[in-house]
Every structure is written in structure tokens, then in C-alpha cells.
Structure 1
């Protein structure tokens, strides 16, 4: 009997699945991060070097970062003019030793708080006012405006306290507070009354000081014919803007002769231009 032909077992071919190559997102992100870090490091190289060097002298990390930013801003404005602003909160200042920041950036001017509201006189004003003149710093006096007090009484408080001389900066109105018992429009009327009365007395147009946000929201348009001194401490703000005559860029400076932290300012021009801006008679 013939044997039936044996069937060969059939084998199914395994289909070869081609795997798509994975896109290297992780590597690309890492490369981008490294590039950004390198750019950041290069941009802030002066500040980073200053920070590392200052670590040896002790102090908090926050203070060291603040001093590094100050160094960065000063380095970017070597063609400008630097100065302080002070009040009784800095205590008794040794003006004899004040001449520069970091023994590298010379100081040319100082703003001094004279008055606040309708009856406050800064306890250190008289001393600071005479000492800065003696030590040949260009000086300017400012009034801290209280929105809920009479504007004319505030102007008269400043006028009876401050005697401007030839070579002094124009008087300054410092407005930072929001009104509690009046509208913004009435606040602006009061500010204008203060400015007009002070200008009539000193025969020189005053300046206005405020924070950048306050300036942008309430002052920039209606007070556009005045010069502005603007406060902005933003870490990433590195350059003075064209419409700022002065820029207060930090409140954390440490200056030889001042025993508390102090504000630093940049004038948007050269020392010669600053002298031209002072009172002429």
C-alpha cells in the first residue's frame, strides 16, 4: 500500500515591521537649553564675574545678586551720569568720603528729600543740603506728595524749606500714592496746582518723579511737557528709556559713606549736559 505523500509544514513569513526612527526631542531641547544658557552667561558675564568675586566678602545671596545687577547696569551706562537720592532713612551720611560707586563709577549728583505733605520736613534735609554743596555734588530737592492733603499747602511747605541756588537741579514732585478720598482727575488737578505754584516761585519748571507703571497709567500724557525721573527696579530692565530724564534703577546700593542701602540713579546724558539742566540764576 502506497504511503500518502507527507505534507511539508507551512511556515508563515513574519512581516517585518519597519520602525520609524524616533525624533530626538530630548537632545534638541538639551542643545537649545545649553545655547540659551551660554547666551545668558555671555550677556551677564560682567555681573556673574562680579557676583563670584563678591562671594568672598560674605553677605546674603540676595544682596550679592542685587549688587551684581547694579554692576551690570552701571557697566552698560558708562557714557551717562550717576547719582544718589537720600532722605532721613539713610541716617547721618559721611559726605566727605562719597565720590564713586565701587571706586570706579563717579557720582555727580544727589537728590535730597526736603518735605512731605503739608507740614513734614525731612530731619536730615538741612544737613544733607549744605553738605552736598560743600562737597561739590550737583544737588536737587524733592517733595513727597500726599494725595489726600491740600496741594497748595504742600507747595508752600516745600517753598519755605528749600532755597534753590544757581547750579541746583529743578525742584521735584514725588508722586507714588493713589488717592483715597478723591478721583484720579482731582489728583491730577492737585498735582498741577503744586507744579504751577512751585514754578512761579522758583522761575524754573519742576520735574516729576514716579514709578514706571504710575507714570504710564496716569502721568505720561497729561504731564508730557514735564521732565520725568522714573523708578524701575526690574531685574531684566537694563537700559534707560528715551523719555526718562533720570532713572532710579535700584534701592539696594551700598555706597561708602552711606550706612544704609541707598537708591542709585542714572541721568540720561553726560555730566556737561547735567550742568546745563541746572538752575541758571
Structure 2
């Protein structure tokens, strides 16, 4: 064989090897490309699956009904298989619809629960009224954040102001004795003091018997202003009562039944009181009685809460400036509807409420709990009080 032929055969062989190697490289490249495509497609499907699962989780979280999640998942996957892949817009719409359905179902559930509770409350009201409870007794436990009262033939629901001073007395510490008298206990000891308030309507009083019956203090009506005439009048029994009470060791305070319609008139009333108590030892407060008169012609009934509070402060400040302890007398209607109670935070309070419940939330130092009390030395009924402290 010639060298030339040998060389040609080697060249042909080398070229064939090169072509075979190129073919193999192209085959490997196609395989690698196919694998990458499959992996990428798998990742895309996996990401879409995670998004769908997140949408289902959102619906399940809002609805709170985990038992329905599997069914929703199967439905969503079935829809995905039938319709192909969701676009982002379609997925957003599916999530929004799921949320809307959950909210609608929750709203229906809340409405049903509210209707059920309403039926329960109505049932409780029917039972309590049938058992003889008053409407007020029935309503009050249902509105723990309000003071419920009746005035002018209407029920009033007055929100309790937590920023005002509260009394802090405990119902379990209140004792009602067999004779109907109240006393307040702390650590097994009686800490309250028994008192009465009197005027000409109690007639002639035997103060020796009153003192022997355990009365520790008394508020005497010193006088009043005519609710139509506006005239200042001294109570006709004041002098006899103050002398008799002091002579038998009973501590004395006084009250004035006001019909002042201006601060000037309130100051006039205070000076009227100060002139008459000057000769006597007054250990208990001097009280401004600012309650409402049940007469359409009463002078004070025309006042706004601001104006009534203005005249109250004018009286109390005049008494305090003279060195006495000022106090105002009120009931729930007066406090909540006729006065601006927040402006009277700094003054002592005498509260009237005829019941055994410590219902009224705000602070007071004296509680007038009945107008039908009985005390030896007094012929008829008399107002009874307990004081939660005694004045020096």
C-alpha cells in the first residue's frame, strides 16, 4: 500500500470520528434541554399549586370551617384540571369570591346568633316580669354599662362615666336588720352611722328618746325658698329641733331646700343659713337640697343642667368660705339628668335611693335609704340615713 492511500484512509477515519462525536454532543444537549424544560415546567406547576393552596387557606381561615376545606380543595383542583392553568387575574377573582362567600356566611351566622340572643333576653324579661319584678329591676342587669332610671314617664339609659369618682361599697357588706334599718360592715365590724333628717312634718320630737334609739346624727331642715313666690322661709321647728338634738348629744347638720334660679339667689340662701346656724355647734355638713319639685310652676324646673350646677356651686362655695362643710343632696334623676356631675367632684354628697341595692355607681358619703323609717320619740314616719363616716 502506498503512503498516499494510507494517508487518505486515515483522514477519512478521522473525519468519521469527528462527525460521530458531534452527533453525540448534539444528542446530550437535546437531552439536557428537555430535562431543563421539564424541571422548569414542574416548578411552574408547583408554584401555581402553592398559590392555589394559599387561596384555599385564606378562605378556610376566614370561614373557620375546616371541615369544608377538603371539599373546596377538590373542587378547586378539579376546576384547574378542567380549565387548565389560572391566570393571575382569574386566581385573584377566585380568592375574592372565596372571601366574599365566607364573609356572607359569617354575617348570616352572626345575625342568627343575635336573633337567638334576642329571643333569650325576651324570654328572661317575660319570666322576670311574670315573677313580679318591676321593669327597672328587669332592665338594669341587662345594661351593666348604663344607669337605667325613669323620669318624666320615660326610661333613660345613661352611660356610666368611669372617669368620675365611684363609691366602692360592696353589696355583701350591707346588712338589713329585722327592723328595716341599714348598716354597713367591714371586717365584721359596723362602720356606718345611723342618722335621720327631719322638718316640721315630723311635728314635736322627743330628742331624749331619739338619742336612746341609737340615732347618732341628724340633718335638720333650716328653711326653704318658695317654689312659686321665691320667698325665703325658716322652718318653724328648726330652733326647737337644733336645741333638742344638741342637748342630747346628737351631731347636727342642716339643709336648705332651694329654688334659686341665679347664683346671686343661691348666695342669698347660703347667707340666710349662715346667719341662723352661727349660734350653734354644727359638726355635720350644711346641705344644699337641689332636687326637682313636682310642679309645673316651680321656679327651678326651668333651669338647664349647667344653670342648676352654677347655683349649686355658688351656694356650696359660700358655705365653705364661712368655714363649714358643704354638701349637696340629690337622687339619681338630679345627678344624671339635672346636674353636671363632673363639675361637683370636689364636694361631699348626700344620696337618696329607696332600695336595698347599691346600684348607683358614683361616690357619696350619706345614703338616705327610706322615707318610711320608725324611730322612738317621733310620732310618724321619718327619713332614715346611714353615713359611711362621721364628721368631727
- Could you tell me the TM-score, scaled by structure 2's length? 0.47
SS of residue in 2 equivalent to 1:198: helix
Match of 1:98 in 2: 210
Does residue 114 (structure 1) correspond to residue 222 (structure 2)? The answer is: yes
Looking at structure 1, the residues matched to 360 and 306 of structure 2 have their Cα atoms a distance apart, in angstroms, of 29
Structure 2 residue matching 1:107: 3-state secondary structure: coil
One of 359, 371, 376 as aligned partner of 1:256: 376
Task: Say if 2:292 and 2:301, in contact at 8 Å, map to a contact too.
Answer: no
Query: Once the 2 structures are TM-superposed, how far is the Cα of residue 198 of structure 1 from its aligned partner?
Result: 1.9
Which structure shows the higher helix fraction?
2
Partner of 1:14: none
Task: Provide the C-alpha distance between the structure 2 equivalents of 1:264 and 1:239, rounded to a whole number of angstroms.
Answer: 18
Is the contact made by 2:202 and 2:378 (CA closer than 8 Å) also made in structure 1? yes
The alpha carbon displacement at 1:94 in A equals 0.7
Tell me: CA distance 1:231–1:185, structure 2 relative to 1, closer, same or farther (3 Å).
same
Q: Secondary structure at the match of 1:99?
A: helix
Q: Tell me the residue number matched to 2:266.
A: 151
Specify which of 334, 345, 367 is matched with residue 224 of structure 1. 345
Is 2:283 the partner of 1:163?
no
Structure 1 unaligned segments of length 5 or more: list them. Answer: 1-32, 37-42, 51-66
Provide the C-alpha distance between the structure 1 equivalents of 2:292 and 2:275, rounded to a whole number of angstroms.
24
Q: 1:193 maps to what in 2?
A: 314
- TM-score scaled by structure 1? 0.64
Q: CA deviation at 1:81?
A: 0.9
Q: Give deviations 1:90-139, integer Å, cap 9, x for gaps.
A: 001011111355xxxx2211111101125110010000001111000011
Summarize the Cα distance change of 1:98–1:239 in structure 2 as closer, same or farther, 3 Å threshold: farther
Give 3-state SS (helix, strand or coil) of 2:222's partner. strand
Cα deviation, residue 175, structure 1: 1.0
1:242 CA displacement: 7.2
Q: 1:152 to 1:87 in 2, by over 3 A?
A: same
1:152-179: per-residue Cα shift (whole Å, max 9, x none)? Answer: 2222221222226556212111110263
Is the contact made by 1:151 and 1:194 (CA closer than 8 Å) also made in structure 2?
A: yes
2:257 is the alignment partner of 1:177: no
Q: C-alpha distance in 2, partners of 1:75/1:196?
A: 31
The counterpart of 1:130, out of the listed 243, 246, 250, is 243
Aligned position for 2:324: 204
The number of residues matched between the two structures is 205
Higher Cα radius of gyration: 2
Is 2:211–2:248's contact at 8 Å kept on the other side of the alignment?
A: no
Conserved? CA contact 1:94–1:257, under 8 Å: yes
Q: Name the SS for the 2:351 alignment partner.
A: strand
Output aligned runs, 1:14-163, within 5 Å: 50=178, 70-71=180-181, 73-74=182-183, 78-99=190-211, 101=213, 106-117=214-225, 118-148=231-261, 150-163=265-278
Aligned CA-pair RMSD: 3.0
Judge conservation of contact 2:184–2:192 (CA < 8 Å) in 1: no
SS at match of 1:84: strand
Q: Which runs of 5+ in 2 are unaligned?
A: 1-127, 132-171, 226-230, 294-299
Which of the pair has the greater relative contact order for Cα pairs under 8 Å at 6+ separation? 1
